[in-house]
């Protein structure tokens, strides 16, 4: 995995959060494997986990779209779409599922 880390001011604990840790936490949260989350599967659970992972990597680690694409074996435009989709869902009036997922995952990461 690539070595992108959260800036020290963004986390509460001493450990540095990196892309690998984020993908592992999201995989465990959705009860998936890492190969499963980066697979080309279109199952709703896998797609949601993948999109949330990509969103967190982009927003929290400020990773470039191309770098995220390398992690997930996807073109950077697919990553742009995923991040925009999650952002749009968060702007809706009742995005309860996505907010719940993000809050639970971020609590596990101890931002």
pLDDT at 17: 82
pLDDT at 5: 52
Count Cβ atoms within 10 A of the Cβ of residue 7 and give its class: 0-12 exposed, 13-18 middle, 19 or more buried: exposed
pLDDT at 16: 74
Confirm whether pTM is higher than 0.85: no
For 90, residues 6+ apart whose C-beta sits below 8 A from its C-beta are 98, 99, 102
Walk along the chain (111 residues) and give the pLDDT tens digit of each residue: 455 555 444 444 435 789 999 999 999 999 999 999 999 999 999 999 999 999 999 999 999 999 999 999 999 999 999 999 999 988 886 667 888 899 899 888 865
pLDDT at 21: 92
Rounded CA-CA distance 104/92 in Å is 19
pLDDT at 97: 84
């Amino acid at each position: 995995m690539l070595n992108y880390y959260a800036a020290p001011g963004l986390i509460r604990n001493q450990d540095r959060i990196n892309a690998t840790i984020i993908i592992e936490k999201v995989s465990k949260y959705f009860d998936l494997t890492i190969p499963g989350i980066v697979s080309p599967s279109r199952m709703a659970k896998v797609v949601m986990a993948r999109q949330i992972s990509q969103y967190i990597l982009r927003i929290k680690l400020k990773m470039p779209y191309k770098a995220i694409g390398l992690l997930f074996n996807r073109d950077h435009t697919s990553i742009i779409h995923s991040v925009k989709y999650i952002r749009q869902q968060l702007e809706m009036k009742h995005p309860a599922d996505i907010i719940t997922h993000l809050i639970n995952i971020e609590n596990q990461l101890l931002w």
